[in-house]
Amino acid sequence: MKSESGNVRRLKLARLFLANHLTYFLARLALGPLGRRLRSYQKVAVRGILSELHAAFSGEKPVILASAFVPTELIYGLGAIPVLPEVWSGFAAAAGFSAPAVTASEGSGYSQDLCSFHRCSLGLENLELLPKPAAVIVSSHLCDGGRCSLYRHSRSFGCPFYVLDVPYAATPDGVAWLAHQLERVAQDLVLKVPGLSLAGLPKALAAANRARSEYLAVCRLRRNQPAPWAGSEALNYVAVFLSGWGSPWLPEFYAQLRTHLEETIRLGAFPVSDERHRLLWLNLRPYYSSSIFRYLEKECNTSIAFEEYSHLYWPPHRPDAWAESLAAKLLSHFGWGPIERRLETIWNLVQEYGIDGVVQFNQWGCRQSNGGGRFLADFLRERGVPFLELAGDGVDGRSSGTAQQLTRIAAFVELLDARNTPSPARGTKAIPR
Amino acid sequence: MLLTTCSYIPLEIPLALGIPARRLLPKNAGHEADSYLPRDFCPYARGVLSQVWAGKVSHALLGVAVAGSCDAMRRVYDVLRHYAPDILSFYLDVPRTQNEDAVSYYAGVLRSFAHDLAAAYPGAPPEREWPERLWRAAHELDILRRALLTAYPTPETVQGDAGSGNKPLGVCASVTEWVELYFALNEALALPGSGPPDWLRAAESVRSSTTSPAAPRAPVVLLMGSFLLDATIPAALEANRLGIAAVDSCLGWRSLKVTLSQAEGDIFLRLAAAYLRKPPCPRLLVRQARRSWLEELLFPEGGKEAEVDGVVYFVPKFCDHGYYESVDVKDWLSEYGLPFLLLESEYGAGLSAQMHTRLAAFRELLEERQGQQGAARAKEGRRT
């Protein structure tokens, strides 16, 4: 356990580093020699994130806070930096700041029964670890906690709060209404926030399309058996997948990742070389240090071959019709609408990635994802695919129950071992090399 | 029979189509939903499923209209479709905003809902008759809403005037009784082939005589929250000698303040506007409108002094909207210097000893403040 005074010191240091120009200058310099230890795609991501952090904390560009499923193409296109507080909660957990942040939000009156990703982000604000936003945008779909917590951020920072009211179904009326809302939000932001303009939107959508092409190639490579990318690392990059669309560096990131995976396959240098089982991981992961992934990959020779939240679910954008394109993206999310959409998506992923078993990480308080547990269990059982619901907390390590998780994972892997027949998903589709 | 799960779903539509309908207000969470919904889902979502499955309502032509109120209710809708295919289930996409576009979108949702109902239930009247029938249903429901509002006990009735007056429903002796009347009237709505007089009579006939009148001159609070599950919370407040100036809950005042425009035009558009623009619930993302409504309840005459001594906020366990809003409300109230008590629990919450202990402590706090304020006023009077 870290001491209280140690926490305070570390928080002060973190604030100091984030706000200081010198930090970013030195970090860029360090990327040279230190960069040798990083893979090419990791360097692209670190450079991209550093430059955005610098722009955000120095005030060089306005910051817009957004809930997890708001298309960031809108924010990059307007000339702002998107900050997704839920993603920052993951960063905070990895950096060891989540416990004081969660405690701070609980001190403000937020219940422990709320999702800790949101409680943590509210605590980060209390601890002055979030950049000051010029506006907040939320989408009304998928996650009740996200939009409620972001409203709170907008109140605390005294900035405008925009709601994208997402219809349940992609009817023509619904699409038109949502596209109209996107236009109005963008126009209002341009009026209210100095430095923003609509001119960059087509360019941001074009960048997202380029990243999309590269990403689809990455996905095709990830169908390889054994898996060429460790799922534990891929789950970290869900943060980039959620918040990087529309950025100038995302196409390069996925291009470099693609090259890395091609090289891994060519050399046979797989993260789990003696791969016994392939898992599909649903929802997020614990972002603090947790032994469950090492146990899965090293002790059980089991790969996380793909993740639900790495699934690219929207059609290519039409840069000349940005509002309609972004409306289509919002409405395409497989978790929105009837549960069949999510089931169908998961079944496609099971088949495409040759999955032997599915694990849903039941983040405490995540009602939108956990509510699908019973459907998934029945749906996958009918198709002969084992399913595990793994209760835990992605941000607050104090509520992790790691020992219990390891026991459940061990039992699940035993179950997979005991199945003498390979999963019906194995080998159902040709794996492109 | 059609059961609805949200106060934003106009009962006018099924009633106009000749379908008996009422709001689904379970009396407990039951256990029937346990294997279908995670344990961190709110008691109302669980109660809805349990009530439907427990055989408490016949499944013959039973329909359940579910609004997309929250993540949990979306899943309830999915569970009904998947695991109870003999029940007709309908989904209403209620917007989270109140502007013209949202109203227009919701009008389309309501129109589709009417068509779906007409297709599912035999004997629905032809579409040309719908505007007239909807208008009549709206008028009838308006009578009930007004009757319920006028039956709310005022400070005068608490001091011994209960049941008197020329009002469609006798004025209640206590807020607990008023909540029970609310339940009774809701149940009466589903009586087939009847109208407002029968509904009101049916509600009156089950009026509870077990509740005692609230004590006069007690500290007065505003009881608010996302959803007041049952009558045990007001009963616990009143048992602890706390007066309840108003009930701002899904089961309370804000569901009764539906005003249908008299203007000509599309009836679905008018219904959509009336429902979407009633006093908002925490689920809508219109916090400024929510705050204005709260201020209306706290300062009914527009004065500077609040008409209540404090606020009790009840959240059903695991209700995200309630949890988040309670912190906002607490902050708003601190601007007015009003004490705030958060209660969080399940059905039957008001029966627990712990709840009574907390309410008693809150009353003592309010009484102490009243005493201090009285002394300060007296001192001020002597000076002048």
Mean pLDDT, rounded, for B92-101: 95
Nearest-Cα residue of chain B relative to residue A181: B101
| Residue-level pLDDT at A299 | 95
- Range in A2-6, A223-227, B184-188, B358-362 with the lowest mean pLDDT: A2-6
The CATH number of residue A18's host domain is: 3.40.50.11890
pLDDT tens digits along A89-136: 999 999 999 999 999 999 999 999 999 999 999 999 999 999 999 999
For the ranges A81-90, A366-375, B190-199, B206-215, which has the lowest average pLDDT?
B206-215
Q: Which residue of A has its CA nearest to B327?
A: A109
- Residue A293's SS3 state is helix
Mean pLDDT estimate for chain B: 90
Residue pair A90/A363 in contact (Cβ under 8 Å)? The answer is no
The confidence band for B264, taking pLDDT boundaries of 50, 70 and 90, is: confident
Q: A with B: how many residue pairs have Cβ under 8 Å apart?
A: 107
How far does A161 lie from chain B, in Å, by closest CA? Answer: 10
Give pLDDT, residue B105.
Answer: 95
What pTM does this model have?
Answer: 0.93
Residue A395 makes CB contacts below 8 A (sequence gap 6+) with A89, A90, A92, A93, A98, A102, A116, A117, A119, A120, A286, A287, A288
Nearest to A234 by CA among A299, A285, A300: A285
- CB A167 to CB B74 under 8 A? no
Judged by CB atoms within 8 Å, which residues 17-46 of B form the interface with A? Answer: 35-38, 40-41
Cβ of B97 within 8 Å of Cβ of A163? The answer is yes
| Mean of pLDDT values over A254-264 | 98
Q: Is residue A410 part of a domain?
A: no
| A22-36, B48-62, B68-82, range with the lowest pLDDT | B48-62
- Separation in Å, CA of B378 to nearest CA in chain A: 36
Which of A151, A365, A371 has the CB atom closest to B285's CB atom?
Answer: A151
Q: What is the pLDDT of residue B167?
A: 64
Query: Exposed (0-12), middle (13-18) or buried (19+): which is A87, by Cβ within 10 Å?
Result: buried
- The domain limits of chain B are 2-365
- CA A154 to the chain's CA centroid: 22
| Size of chain B, expressed as the number of residues it contains | 384
Please state at what angle helix B320-336 crosses helix A144-157, rounded to 10 degrees: 20
Is A196 within 8 Å of A78 (Cβ atoms)?
yes
The answer to whether residue A113 sits within a structural domain is: yes
CB A181 to CB B101 under 8 A?
A: yes
- A36 in a domain, yes or no? yes
- Among candidate residues A91, A119, A92, the one with its CA nearest the CA of residue A104: A119
Does B326 sit within 8 Å of A114, measured CB to CB?
Answer: no
User: Average pLDDT in the A3-27 region?
Assistant: 80
CATH class of the domain whose range is B2-365: alpha beta
Q: Does B100 touch chain A (CB under 8 A)?
A: no
Question: Residue A265: inside a domain, yes or no?
Answer: no
Question: pLDDT tier at A431 (50, 70, 90 boundaries)?
Answer: very low
Using the Cβ of A147 and the Cβ atoms of chain B, whether some distance falls under 8 Å is answered with: yes
Model confidence over A127-185: pLDDT tens digits?
999 999 999 999 999 999 999 999 999 999 999 999 999 999 999 988 999 999 999 99
Nearest CA in chain B to A118: B324
Report yes or no: B269 and B109 within 8 Å, Cβ to Cβ: no
**Number of domains observed in the structure of chain A:** 1
φ and ψ at B312, to 5 degrees? -110, 120
Tell me chain A's radius of gyration from C-alpha atoms. Answer: 21
A3 CB neighbour count, 10 Å cutoff: 8
User: What residue numbers bound the domain in which A28 lies?
Assistant: 4-198
Residue A180 lies in a domain: yes
Q: Is B162 a residue whose pLDDT tops 50?
A: no
Q: What percent of chain B has pLDDT over 70?
A: 92
Average pLDDT of every residue of chain A: 93
Please tell me which residue of chain B has the smallest CA distance to A143.
B71
Identify the CA nearest to B249 among candidates B237, B233, B235. B233
pLDDT surpasses 80 at B41: yes
**Residues of chain A contacting residue B323, judged by C-beta atoms under 8 Å apart:** 110-111, 113-114
- Whether A26 is covered by a domain: the verdict is yes
Strands (E), B231-290: 243-248
| Cβ contacts of A375 on chain B, cutoff 8 Å | 78, 82
Tell me how far apart the alpha carbons of residues B285 and A115 are, in angstroms, rounded to a whole number: 19
Q: For residue B165, what pLDDT band results from cuts at 50, 70 and 90?
A: very low
A30 in a domain, yes or no? yes
Strand order across the beta sheet in which B310-316 lies: B243-248, B220-225, B310-316, B340-345
Per-residue CA distances from A65 to A143, A189, B113 (Å): 15, 13, 36
pLDDT of res. B314: 97
pLDDT band at B213 (very low <50, low <70, confident <90, very high): low
In SS3 terms, A149-179 reads as: HHHHHHHHHCCCEEEECCCCCCCHHHHHHHH
Residue A230, in any domain of the structure: no
ipTM field = 0.92
- Check whether B10 has a pLDDT greater than 50: yes
Q: Is B72 on the interface with A (CB under 8 A)?
A: yes
pLDDT surpassing 50 at residue B24: yes
CA A134 to chain B, closest CA, distance in angstroms equals 19
Of B83-87, B141-145, B164-168, the range with the lowest mean pLDDT is: B164-168
Rounded to a whole number of angstroms, the distance from the CA of A360 to the nearest CA of chain B is: 13
| Interface contact flag, B342 A109, Cβ < 8 Å | yes
